Structure 1
Amino acid sequence: MAVTSPCPALRSFRRRAAIAPALLLATTLLVATPAHAADTTVAADGFDRTVASGLGSATTGGAWSSAATTGLSVSGGTARAQLAAGARQVATLTSVSSLDTRMNADFGVDALPASGMGIFNGVTLRASGKAAYTTVVRVRPDGTLRASISRTNAAGTTTTIAPEVTAPGSVAGGGRYAVRAETVGTSPVTVRVKVWAAGATEPTAWTLTRDDAATDRVTTAGAVGVNLYNAPTSGTRTVSFDNVRGTSTSAVTAVAPAPAPAPAPAPAPAPATSGSRGAPAIGTADYGVPSGALVVSPTGNDGAAGTVAAPMRTAQAAVDRAANGQTVVLRGGTYHERVAIPRGKRLTVQPYPREAVWFDGSVPVTAWSQSGTRWVSSGWTATFDSPAHRTTNTDFARFTDPAHPMSTYPDMVFVNGTPLRQVGSASAVVAGTFSVDYGNHTLTIGSNPAGASVRASNLSQAFEVASDGTVLRGIGIRRYANPLSSNGVVYLAGVGAAMRDTEVSDNATTGVSAAKTGQTLQRNSFLRNGMVGLGGYQADGLTLADNAINDNNTEYFKPAPTAAGAKIVRTRGMTIRNNDFLRNRSAGVWLDESDTDFTITHNTASANTTTGIQAEISESGIIADNRATDNTTGIQIISTGNVKVFNNLIGGNTFMGLKVFQDARRQAVASWAGHDTRRPIPDPTCTWVTRNIQASNNVFTTTGLFQVYALSGQSGVPGDRIFASINGNLVGDRKVGVQPTVVALGELDTLLRRYQSNAELTALHSSWSNAFAAWGLTTDQMAARATTLTSGAALPADVAAAVGQPTGVRRVGTF
């Protein structure tokens, strides 16, 4: 039977201070929410040094240890291992001790193996004594790649726990590929690896995953490193590796392994996309040069004619000279400037065909004097708005996590392209960190600058586009120190402006701000920005398509009120289609503050630290055919009504699959923050009342505490009235003592009734019928099981149009 119990005190992950205390007092604790500590970098090495024999010391992680240094060397930002036929080389950062670890590295070979088995390059995790896990990528003589996973136990016995599979892509001599490997948990230990061409967009899917429940699995923390082997018939070969980064991640306490589930069909294919996601590599765009274009080159002269033979020097000078409708073409190179495109001047800004153009907000810093274990550069005069140097009345504390007090200081320093972490004073500087002293005009770093490229940011914005219809495309924009009080590094303030094929990365706070109607952002990469990859404000009709919005909030701002991959507010009629929102340190995509009429389809929102997809104090939307996996909560709907949640894959989330909630805020109350200033109060088109939620044809897995959850925490409306339907879904059966709840619906503001079977849900509403699968199936296994079902709800016309399917089709899971 259904069980009524007090509602757990839930972590909302986005809770204004006025709301959270009331919620915590009003609810009764049932289960403790797992703590999620911030990820910590334990190893980082760009090999920004020269070592003739051996590998030296990493930027983070201490000295590299190897049985022999012969054949090992470092130069030009790359480590190399010369391997004779049949030789092995293992290099480890023995100062590192990490249990749950994410490890990245790029590998290359100078030539393909001559014959035989090939060259084996591995990432080692949890290395302690003889024990370790190794994810191995084998380069075969034909250039194809094969991935496998092995375990070496404490006695030194090595077992292949995941046999080889073909990895994406191939390499030729001199070609490179990237590897990401992870270990998570202890019972079982999950080990996974993905492989892709270096420089290309990282794939969403793991190449290979294995849950290791063997009695001799490795359950203790250990070091990280690389493990290289050259088969006997390969000939002498040189393996190179660089861009090594290891991150210690927090893991939810693991549970005992489940009994082996019944055999499942082969995993379903990944959902179809409308094209590749993210910007093409900078320097590969091939747009035609129109007649009459103004040409710019870093070696040009602003007094020149602006032709290919006589280019101008700066983009701003070209913009100033250009006529409405003209194109500005940039020759390859680096541009250190801020460009303002005024109203009334519709322009296209693009690179010369197949030339790499970067706008860089940093400059080289070359004059350093050593002071003990630190290096100081004098004469630094760049200053920015921050808590210690206020030029605005920004409430910095509202955004600052006390564990990361320097997040709101936008200063940035890079050594060989790797950012250093800012600390509060020169006395606190150690390796991998820096400080800036505005009063004494000094920079202090803890990494030896000898032989390295050191750059520091002194500009805060790359583009301000005020003109309607202007297009930016095919360029790279990086390392601008925009303060919290400013707009994005790219500020799109023109109606119908567009950005395509552009990378915006490694900036201090917000990458791009979209702030006018009818804008399109397509095939861009917004990566590793300090707080937000994309911010949208009153950008009605926004189209966000085919982008990669990944790894943002690098400065560890508070997840609320703003940090996200993409956060869009007070915007009506937006389309968010076929994007990646991956590994952002907050929400993947977050709609907030009076957004209406939104469509979110065909996206992948995975491995974000809070929610994958979130709609809050908004109204009327479709969330369909998305993958919301491996987040804390997959999809979250707060104080938002009339949302259709159809055909999503919602799996591997550690807290909840689908969470629906009502808090105290109401649009009719003028004192609450979040009103669209263009709309009346009250606004009948956006009431901030959770109601009429339809959840159909979704696939949920049995991870986390709840697969489906609904509670009206401030109105007393029962959860089954918040939902118009919960029908046609595939959910995982409950296992007593492991997963408490399949579906939980609130009866009062503080009570939940739990529904653990289809019979209980059908007894509540006769039209609600859902399929249950055996407990313990993986996300991919559940997706495959869904393809065998014919019990899905008929697709409504508006959802069908949004996902490109016929009205009335019945399918469970993604298309």
Structure 2
Amino acid sequence: MLNILRRHMTVALTLLALAQHSFADQLLVPSDYPTIQAAIDAAKANDTIMVAGGIYHERIKLKRGVTLKSVGDDSPGKSSLHRAETTILDGGGKTGQGAGVTMADHSTLDGFTVRNVGVFDESAWQKHHATQGNEQDHQHIGQPGTPGIDATNVSCRVINNIVHHNGYSGIAISGPQAAPRITKNTCFKNLGAGIASMNGSRALISENTCFQNFYAGIGHENASPTVTNNHCYENIRAGIGISEGACPVVRSNRCYRNRRAGIGTRSGAATKPIIEDNDCYENDMAGIGTEEHAAPIIRNNRCYKNLLAGIGSQDHATATIIGNECSQNQKAGIGQQSDAHTTLINNHCHDNQTAGIGFEACENGTATVIGNRVNNNQLVAVGIHSGWNVRLVNNQLSRETGLPPIVMIFAGASVQMSGNTIRGGGVAGIRVAGNLQADNNVINGIAVRPGGPPNFAIWALPDAKLIVRNNQIQRWRHGLYAEQATVTATENQISEFHNVAFAVKSLRGNPTITNNVITTKNPDAKIVGDASSDIHPEHNQLIIESP
């Protein structure tokens, strides 16, 4: 009996739903209703309001389940759909009240231009564009304001709209119950973000074009949307900005020619976005930048031709940077500064104008660098300034031409290198003024240079401290050149050098050069080039090969 009642109830509910659907109406503006709001007020759930082209001087509030759509097909116009370009909601500047469009649960807004909500200050836009946003207030993107389109605590669809020249963000998504779909909109010249996701919202933001907005093209504060396949360019700050505990997934976007970063993260360790498979290029700062303790995962992105680093970390950021390609940037491929704490795994950094991977001077920065390919950068493959403690493990570091060292370790830096392959020419494979522990590395030169500029596998400057063990060194003038440094060198294998394997002079402390294997075809070759030192060459093995 109970099962029969349940079946009857199910059938009744299905018929009711079908009846409701069958009685959905289509309301026409302006032929049936003189204003859009009048049509909305008359509509019920599942109704569609069709709006003819024209300029409508009103701000509207949608109702639950109502679709508002402009008349016309999806033929393209100059920058968006033709019907969106010709069906305009004008908010009246200072005179109107509320958002240009206030969305309701399960409502749809399809194919409108929303403009002139609040006051767009062109002079302020020009000023801050010229200064790259450096003089803008460090305001939360979620500060109070009146957006072009407001989706607060609703699930809805905002599609095919053009939102521009508003006095706040173009589209604002706010609240923990907000899970709208924001797709195929064009947002530009808004005096906030093009699209702002805030206060616990969980939107899908996809296939939008956001450019020349006052802050980010797409901005996040304490929100967790999915942001995918958007184009964000020429915004005053980032193309995509992530802050204040936001944890979005940012995937497959193109961010280019923004005045600051293509994608930027900041404002606290709770800011933990996943940034993957994006193209960030020709931005005026980094392709992807992170600062202020933010902790993003940055993986499988392509960052190229940016005016600073391809990927940059600073100000105590704790970025995990995996599998990215960073090339042709004006500074480093991946750059770290001001006490960042980074992990770099399996990235490819090539053809950058300074370092492939660079560490600027700081007080206390740390980095683990594993399995990266760093080749053919203009200056060094890896440059490490003072204040850094860096582990380099199983990386491939090379440069075919040029004089700078392949790895440069400055005074005040401490570096552990293990299992790396270093190949190239220049003055040194590794040039050290700080502290270095190098174990099990392969350091191969291109050709021995007997004269001219230095050509040393490892070059230790005065006051450097080295522990060099079990490395394979080939085709350098000297395997090690050190003066007034502290040196321990054991169990290394050195071959194809010029006359002296260890060219050392006035070493400090208790130098140790023992149990190394030296292979050469030169019967006059020496293991150690400083007879006045306390080093005993006989504690090493010299193998003379047949010419």
Q: TM-score normalised to the size of structure 2?
A: 0.52
Looking at structure 1, the residues matched to 341 and 493 of structure 2 have their Cα atoms a distance apart, in angstroms, of: 24
Cα gap change, 1:541/1:594 in structure 2, threshold over 3 Å: closer, same or farther? Answer: same
Match of 2:377 among 639, 643, 653: 653
Residue 328 of structure 1: CA displacement? 2.4
Residue 514 of structure 1: CA displacement? 0.9
Encode CA deviations 1:27-53: one digit per residue, 9 max, x unaligned: xxxxxxxxxxxxxxxxxxxxxxxxxxx
Equivalent position amino acid for 1:591 in 2: S
In the other structure, the counterpart of 1:547 is 278
In the other structure, the counterpart of 1:635 is 357
Is 1:569 matched up with 2:291?
yes
Alignment of 1:241-280 (within 5 A): none
In the other structure, the counterpart of 1:496 is 224
In the other structure, the counterpart of 2:178 is 346
- The answer as to whether partners of 2:455 and 2:477 remain within 8 angstroms in 1 is no
In the other structure, the counterpart of 1:702 is 400
Encode CA deviations 1:246-267: one digit per residue, 9 max, x unaligned: xxxxxxxxxxxxxxxxxxxxxx
Cα gap change, 1:769/1:576 in structure 2, threshold over 3 Å: closer, same or farther? Answer: farther
Residue 709 of structure 1: CA displacement? 0.8
Residue 310 of structure 1: CA displacement? 8.1
- The answer as to whether partners of 1:304 and 1:310 remain within 8 angstroms in 2 is no
In the other structure, the counterpart of 2:206 is 474
Encode CA deviations 1:627-682: one digit per residue, 9 max, x unaligned: 111112110123454422222221111111111110xxxxxxxxxxxxxxxxxxxx
Cα gap change, 1:342/1:479 in structure 2, threshold over 3 Å: closer, same or farther? Answer: same
In the other structure, the counterpart of 2:264 is 535
Residue 498 of structure 1: CA displacement? 3.7
Encode CA deviations 1:507-557: one digit per residue, 9 max, x unaligned: 34432221033232211111111232122112532221111111111xxxx
In the other structure, the counterpart of 1:519 is 248
Encode CA deviations 1:339-366: one digit per residue, 9 max, x unaligned: 2333445233322xxxx532232xxxxx
In the other structure, the counterpart of 1:623 is 344
In the other structure, the counterpart of 2:157 is 328
In the other structure, the counterpart of 1:733 is 446
- The answer as to whether partners of 2:153 and 2:175 remain within 8 angstroms in 1 is no
Encode CA deviations 1:104-143: one digit per residue, 9 max, x unaligned: xxxxxxxxxxxxxxxxxxxxxxxxxxxxxxxxxxxxxxxx
Task: State the secondary structure of the residue aligned to 1:628.
Answer: strand
Residue 326 of structure 1: CA displacement? 0.2
In the other structure, the counterpart of 2:410 is 711
Cα gap change, 1:742/1:472 in structure 2, threshold over 3 Å: closer, same or farther? Answer: farther
Cα gap change, 1:740/1:459 in structure 2, threshold over 3 Å: closer, same or farther? Answer: farther
Equivalent position amino acid for 1:654 in 2: Q
Looking at structure 2, the residues matched to 343 and 769 of structure 1 have their Cα atoms a distance apart, in angstroms, of: 64
- The answer as to whether partners of 2:297 and 2:320 remain within 8 angstroms in 1 is yes
- The answer as to whether partners of 2:373 and 2:395 remain within 8 angstroms in 1 is no
Looking at structure 2, the residues matched to 534 and 730 of structure 1 have their Cα atoms a distance apart, in angstroms, of: 36
Looking at structure 1, the residues matched to 398 and 415 of structure 2 have their Cα atoms a distance apart, in angstroms, of: 27
Match of 2:306 among 584, 587, 594: 584
Unaligned runs of 5+ in 1: 1-290, 362-457, 554-562, 663-688, 774-815
Looking at structure 2, the residues matched to 584 and 654 of structure 1 have their Cα atoms a distance apart, in angstroms, of: 15
Encode CA deviations 1:590-631: one digit per residue, 9 max, x unaligned: 1001123x3211111100011110122335432121111111
Task: State the secondary structure of the residue aligned to 1:691.
Answer: strand
In the other structure, the counterpart of 2:188 is 360
Looking at structure 1, the residues matched to 324 and 494 of structure 2 have their Cα atoms a distance apart, in angstroms, of: 24
Task: State the secondary structure of the residue aligned to 2:480.
Answer: helix
Alignment of 1:414-433 (within 5 A): none
Looking at structure 2, the residues matched to 545 and 768 of structure 1 have their Cα atoms a distance apart, in angstroms, of: 41
Equivalent position amino acid for 2:323 in 1: H
Encode CA deviations 1:187-223: one digit per residue, 9 max, x unaligned: xxxxxxxxxxxxxxxxxxxxxxxxxxxxxxxxxxxxx
User: Rg: which structure is higher?
Assistant: 2
Root mean square deviation of aligned Cα = 4.3
- The answer as to whether partners of 1:295 and 1:312 remain within 8 angstroms in 2 is no
Task: State the secondary structure of the residue aligned to 1:760.
Answer: strand
Looking at structure 1, the residues matched to 295 and 331 of structure 2 have their Cα atoms a distance apart, in angstroms, of: 25
Equivalent position amino acid for 1:623 in 2: L
Task: State the secondary structure of the residue aligned to 1:510.
Answer: coil
Looking at structure 2, the residues matched to 770 and 535 of structure 1 have their Cα atoms a distance apart, in angstroms, of: 46
Alignment of 1:68-467 (within 5 A): 292=65, 298=84, 299=87, 314=114, 319-320=149-150, 322=151, 324-331=153-160, 337=166, 338-351=170-183, 356-361=184-189, 459=191, 461-467=193-199
- The answer as to whether partners of 1:628 and 1:651 remain within 8 angstroms in 2 is yes
Equivalent position amino acid for 2:187 in 1: F
In the other structure, the counterpart of 2:463 is 748
Encode CA deviations 1:212-245: one digit per residue, 9 max, x unaligned: xxxxxxxxxxxxxxxxxxxxxxxxxxxxxxxxxx
Looking at structure 2, the residues matched to 304 and 468 of structure 1 have their Cα atoms a distance apart, in angstroms, of: 17
In the other structure, the counterpart of 2:315 is 593
Residue 693 of structure 1: CA displacement? 2.5
Cα gap change, 1:697/1:350 in structure 2, threshold over 3 Å: closer, same or farther? Answer: same
Cα gap change, 1:347/1:750 in structure 2, threshold over 3 Å: closer, same or farther? Answer: same
Looking at structure 1, the residues matched to 203 and 464 of structure 2 have their Cα atoms a distance apart, in angstroms, of: 50
Task: State the secondary structure of the residue aligned to 2:262.
Answer: strand
Looking at structure 2, the residues matched to 542 and 303 of structure 1 have their Cα atoms a distance apart, in angstroms, of: 28
Q: TM-score normalised to the size of structure 1?
A: 0.36
In the other structure, the counterpart of 2:238 is 510
Looking at structure 2, the residues matched to 699 and 588 of structure 1 have their Cα atoms a distance apart, in angstroms, of: 18
Looking at structure 2, the residues matched to 738 and 637 of structure 1 have their Cα atoms a distance apart, in angstroms, of: 26
Looking at structure 2, the residues matched to 544 and 771 of structure 1 have their Cα atoms a distance apart, in angstroms, of: 45
Looking at structure 2, the residues matched to 712 and 720 of structure 1 have their Cα atoms a distance apart, in angstroms, of: 5
Match of 1:608 among 315, 322, 329: 329
Match of 1:760 among 480, 498, 506: 480
Equivalent position amino acid for 1:516 in 2: E
- The answer as to whether partners of 1:715 and 1:749 remain within 8 angstroms in 2 is no
| Number of corresponding residues | 340
- The answer as to whether partners of 1:495 and 1:519 remain within 8 angstroms in 2 is yes
Looking at structure 2, the residues matched to 495 and 303 of structure 1 have their Cα atoms a distance apart, in angstroms, of: 20
Task: State the secondary structure of the residue aligned to 2:293.
Answer: coil
- The answer as to whether partners of 2:155 and 2:178 remain within 8 angstroms in 1 is yes
Looking at structure 1, the residues matched to 192 and 397 of structure 2 have their Cα atoms a distance apart, in angstroms, of: 44
Task: State the secondary structure of the residue aligned to 1:564.
Answer: coil
- The answer as to whether partners of 1:488 and 1:509 remain within 8 angstroms in 2 is yes
Cα gap change, 1:570/1:472 in structure 2, threshold over 3 Å: closer, same or farther? Answer: same
Cα gap change, 1:358/1:697 in structure 2, threshold over 3 Å: closer, same or farther? Answer: same
- The answer as to whether partners of 2:243 and 2:266 remain within 8 angstroms in 1 is yes
Looking at structure 2, the residues matched to 585 and 546 of structure 1 have their Cα atoms a distance apart, in angstroms, of: 20
Looking at structure 2, the residues matched to 295 and 739 of structure 1 have their Cα atoms a distance apart, in angstroms, of: 74
Q: Percent identity?
A: 18
Cα gap change, 1:722/1:750 in structure 2, threshold over 3 Å: closer, same or farther? Answer: closer
In the other structure, the counterpart of 2:543 is none
Task: State the secondary structure of the residue aligned to 1:340.
Answer: strand
